[in-house]
Structure 1
Amino acid sequence: MAEPAYLDTAQGRRLAYHLSDGTGPTVVFLGGLKSDMEGTKAVHLEAWCAAQGRAFLRFDYSGHGLSSGAFEDGGIGEWAEDTSAALAELTRGKLIVVGSSMGGWQALLFARAHPDRVAGLVTIAAAPDFTEDGYAASFTDAQWAALERDGQVEMPSDYMEPYIITRHLIEDGRKQLVLRAPLPLPFPVRCLQGTADTAVSTETAVRLLNHADSPDIRLLLVKDADHRFSDGPCLGLIEAAITEILDAST
């Protein structure tokens, strides 16, 4: 396995990444919360793009994978800074941004801030505003008390070890919400969502579909697909979504 390269950001963080040269638009993969760039979808898309001679970027946010920092020190805003730094320093021209789960929120934040860079978006079980609508909305009085007392609370996950949710993650998340104000996405958007996803609901996917302002936005619900969305048929659907955007942008 090739060793990653590293990018030092203006915020003093060191991000691990893999960048493949090729034609544009560059495909960028943004992973989920506590995921890293060695996940099935990221590695598969890298190989798929390489076979087409297309440029591709995957990287680890700070506190994730091989990048610097501790997960508990980060938040949606810091990871958005990481995304902006990686895409500004490592890519040129138009991008197709593929965001999985929390990476879907990151993709929307980047697209809102830099619409001129985006040829299209693909979201996979996108989780915009999850810190507010998921965690904060479901906290018990005891969990709120622990958050105030300890600065963090442990939350179970169906897909990995429990998450440590910090008060900073919740408070910073409130500054990054994308479903409370207009969300112009002036390019093709493809949203993919499994109906057996226990981390992100189909209602969230429909809410994003209805809220975003795009000339060409579509939601595909896949019966019985779970949050990982990484078996063979699901990977094929991601490829097809990217191909649709490539066709629309030529």
Structure 2
Amino acid sequence: MTDISNLDGPRGRLAYAKTEGAGPCIVFLSGYKSDMEGTKAVHLEAWAKAQGRAFLRLDYSGHGVSGGVFEEGTIGAWADDAFRVIEAATDGPLVLVGSSMGGWIGLLLSQRLGAERVAGFVGIAAAPDFTEDSFWAGFSEETRTTIMEEGQVELPSAFDDPYIVTRALIEDGRENLVLRRPLKMPFPVRLLQGTEDEAVDGSVPLRLLDHIEGDDVRLTLLKHADHRFSEPDCLALIEAAVTEVCG
């Protein structure tokens, strides 16, 4: 296992693991309440090592072994955490691999870093704009009122402890929506989605595919795969997508 390094961030210590190797450096961006010890992150790191490729995984503030409080985080703050680690730990071209919320963060980073640094993007069950289109859109008026007046609400989760959704998360999410503004991605983009994904509606990857401005954008649907996208056939598909965009 790669040694964990740390970087001071505005919301606490940021933990990351960097494997040296040939570029472009593959950057894994995990999902909401997930971390860099997840199945996909660890598997892809081992695969990259075997291929002699540079690889970076990290924990946003309030996630994994990074400092900070999860409930104080927002999409913009977590994207900034990832940007800080990328700037400190890498140079040269990057391939961004984002899982679920990490897909949204990866899309934001692709615009912030630009085509000068981003050589490719792989979205795994990417969930752009989910705070607005999934959370807020699905809330009852009672839940919306609770968030706005009390600052947060607790929601059940199929994966772990209940989700705490805060007013700050919703309001910051609106400042970082990517499906309502131009999304230029002039590099290879691969979107991977399971047909049995219970967290990201099947319309989302189609909307993203249509919205991205680029000449090499492909969506692959894997029958029966769920949101975790961590079964052996899913992991093999991720490897193939990363290999494609790395060139």
* TM-score interval, normalised by the smaller of the two chains: over 0.9
Question: C-alpha offsets along residues 74-123 of structure 1, whole Å, 9 cap, x if unaligned?
Answer: 00010011011011110110001100000000000000111221000000
Using the alignment, how far apart are the partners of 1:61 and 1:185 within structure 2? 24
Contact 1:36 1:64 in 2 (8 A): yes
- TM-score scaled to structure 2, two decimals? 0.97
Question: TM-score, normalising length from structure 1?
Answer: 0.96
Match of 1:182 in 2: 182
Aligned to 1:28: 27
| Equivalent pair of 2:186/2:213 in contact (CA under 8 Å) | yes
Cα distance in 2 between the residues matched to 1:161 and 1:224: 25
Q: What's the offset of the Cα at 1:202?
A: 1.4
Q: Quote the Cα distance in structure 1 between the aligned partners of 2:222 and 2:158.
A: 19
- Counterpart secondary structure, 1:213: coil
Q: How far did 1:37 drift?
A: 0.4
One-letter identity of the residue aligned with 2:44: L
- Answer yes or no: is the 8 Å Cα contact 1:158–1:198 preserved in 2: no
- Count of residue pairs the alignment pairs up: 246
Q: Secondary structure at the match of 1:135?
A: helix
Give the letter for the 2:35 counterpart. Answer: D
Q: Which runs of 5+ in 1 are unaligned?
A: none
RMSD: 1.0
Name the SS of the counterpart of 2:48 in structure 1. helix
Question: Shift in Å at residue 156 of structure 1?
Answer: 1.8
Q: Secondary structure at the match of 2:164?
A: strand
Take 2:11 and 2:135, find their aligned partners in 1: how far apart are those partners? Answer: 29
Partner of 1:137: 137
- 1:3 deviates by 4.6
Residue 147 (structure 1) aligns with = 147
Alpha-carbon deviation of 1:48?
0.3
**Partner SS for 1:227:** coil
Looking at structure 2, the residues matched to 24 and 102 of structure 1 have their Cα atoms a distance apart, in angstroms, of 25
Q: CA deviation at 1:13?
A: 2.8
Query: In 2, Cα distance between the equivalents of 1:224 and 1:155?
Result: 26
Give the corresponding residue for 1:104: 103
User: In the alignment, what sits opposite 1:39?
Assistant: 38
1:149-164 to 2 correspondences below 5 Å: 149-164=149-164
Q: Deviations over 1:168-195 (max 9, x none)?
A: 0000000000000111001000000001
Question: What is the identity percentage for the equivalent residue pairs of Structure 1 and Structure 2?
Answer: 58
Cα distance in 1, alignment partners of residues 131 and 157 from structure 2: 14
C-alpha separation in 2, matches of 1:173 and 1:114:
19
Residue 161 of structure 1: CA displacement? 2.0
SS of equivalent residue, structure 2 residue 142? helix
Structure 2 residue aligned with 1:8: 8
Counterpart code for 1:28: V
Deviations 1:46-96 (A, max 9, x none): 000000111100000001000011100000010011011011110110001
The answer to whether structure 1 residue 53 and structure 2 residue 38 are counterparts is no
Return the letter of the residue paired with 1:154. Answer: E
Q: Distance in 1 between matches of 2:28 and 2:77?
A: 17
Letter in 1 for 2:5: A
Which residue is 1:90 aligned to?
Answer: 89
Distance 1:145 1:209 in 2: 34
Give how far 1:148 is off: 2.3
String of CA shifts for 1:2-57, please: whole Å, max 9, x gaps. Answer: 55110113x25311111011110000000000001000000000000000111100
Structure 2 residue identity aligned to 1:53 = G
Question: Take 1:148 and 1:170, find their aligned partners in 2: how far apart are those partners?
Answer: 10
Give the partner amino acid of 2:135: Y
Aligned residue for 1:186, secondary structure, equals coil
